[in-house]
Amino acid sequence: MFGIVRPCRHGMCGGLFKEWMAHLCGLCLALRDEHGHASRLVTNYDGLLVSVLTEAQAPASSPHRRAAACALRGFKGADVVEAEGVRLAAAVSLILAAGKVKDHVEDGDGVYARRLVAAGAGRVAARWSAAGSGTASALGFDPAPLLVAVEEQTRLERLPNPSLLQLTAPTEAAVAAAFGHTAVLAGKPHNRETLEEAGRYFGRLAHLLDAVEDLARDRAQGAYNPLVASGTDLALARRHCDDAVHGLRLAVAELDLERRPLVNALLVRETGRATGRIFGEAEQESPEAPPRDPRLKPDPGGLLSLLCLSAACCTCGLYRPPWDEDRYKSCGERCDPGGCDACGQCCDGCSGCSDCCSGCSDCCNCNCNCDC
């Protein structure tokens, strides 16, 4: 799983974390039910924001269903979201993941430089793109903006001296279209324009943070990176990200929502945390890593890494040997709070709660109706 919005249970009130997991598991199961087990590989944290926004706007809470035991939940069952918003999130995830795979194939990145891997990945990408487009059309969402964004991104990356915001524009347009359609599904068309604005800010932020996170590795391997291609340093990239976080916060504040806490937690607080975390890590690394010698063959361990990743996804990456003390714990209980600044801060803004913020464990399990 991937994405910039990765809330830890120690940084979110227990009720909100449970809601977030219901959307995450709902997205995973929607992909499985409509598109097969292999499609669950595209489950990502950012894609489920589409589902969260749809439910937050709807007058009534999204329908849930009881899901069977899953390794990701410590072999426990759970109530998961089952609604049109989850299906739209699945469609968007499939189309964008297909575009990313195609981009890697065309660039010959890592294991994709191998002919057989590239051929297989290309077929998988085509299948995901077709499946996602079919589901999107069934929900009344025109997938064209997402498909065009993939092609436009490839074209822009071939320009000699592109600006940074030129390179982020296709992602911004794709996310804006997806966010905007949640207003249609929820029956609140007056939210559409504001949601599209929020989508543009979030798309820009996601694109830039991904580039910053991969910067050192891309430099070492001689791979394409938007920051390098546009000549953007970390300081300017940080200003763009801070502006996007601020714009996203203002857009979310303008939305007409029936249920606001989870949206605020993910789109306001977690995006700010992600920005600080990713830039903090990037600034600790060497700013000028030596480029990879193009005469060297692709990393021979790359294929093994790909296979390990696939195996991890198939088992949810949570296998524990019998002697592991965390073997029978749920996914949330296994979450490592190391580096998480939540303790003592997870319920900031909950001053009106009588039992909240008396300690990390109490705070994270408070049931108040605050926006934490």
pLDDT tens by residue, 301-352: 444 344 444 444 444 434 444 433 444 455 444 444 334 444 334 444 343 3
For residue 257, give the 3-state DSSP assignment: coil
Find the domain containing 143 and state its range. Answer: 9-284
What is the arithmetic mean of pLDDT over 89-118? Answer: 86
Find which of 229-238, 289-298, 323-332 is predicted with most confidence, using mean pLDDT: 229-238
Write out pLDDT tens, residues 112-133: 888 888 899 999 999 999 999 9
CATH code, domain with 130: 1.10.600.10
**Residue 345 placed within a domain:** no
Task: Please report which confidence band the pLDDT of residue 229 belongs to, taking 50, 70 and 90 as the band edges.
Answer: very high
Alpha-carbon distance of 274 to 205, in angstroms, equals 10
The CA radius of gyration of the chain, in Å to the nearest whole number, is 20
| pTM for the predicted model, two decimal places | 0.78
Average pLDDT, the chain: 78
Q: What digits encode the pLDDT tens for the residues 263-288?
A: 999 999 999 999 999 999 998 874 54
Which of 11-25, 49-63, 98-112 tops mean pLDDT? Answer: 49-63
Asked if residue 190 is part of any domain, the answer here is yes
The answer as to whether 364 is a domain residue is: no
State the residue for tokens 């996007």: 244
Chain CA centroid to CA 173, Å: 16
The pLDDT score that the predictor gives to residue 236 is 96
Give the residue carrying structure tokens 């705070």: 363
Checking phi first, is residue 318 left (phi over 0); if not, alpha (psi -120 to 50) or beta? alpha
pLDDT at site 218: 87
Asked if the model's pLDDT at residue 110 lies above 50, the reply is yes
Residue 40 lies in a domain: yes
In the structure, how many helices (H) and strands (E) does the chain have? 14, 2
Residue 244 lies in a domain: yes
Interval 38-59: pLDDT, tens: 888 888 888 889 999 999 999 8
Domain annotation covers residue 308: no
Residue 129 lies in a domain: yes
- Check residue 38 and give its pLDDT: 85
Give just the sign of the alpha carbon dihedral 28, 31, 34, 38.
Answer: negative
Question: What confidence score (pLDDT) does residue 267 get?
Answer: 94
Q: b or e along 144-168 (b: 16 or more beta carbons within 10 Å of the residue's beta carbon)? A: ebbbebbebbeebbeeeebebeebb
Within a domain: 344:
no
Counting the structural domains of the chain, the total is: 1
Mean pLDDT score, 75-101: 87
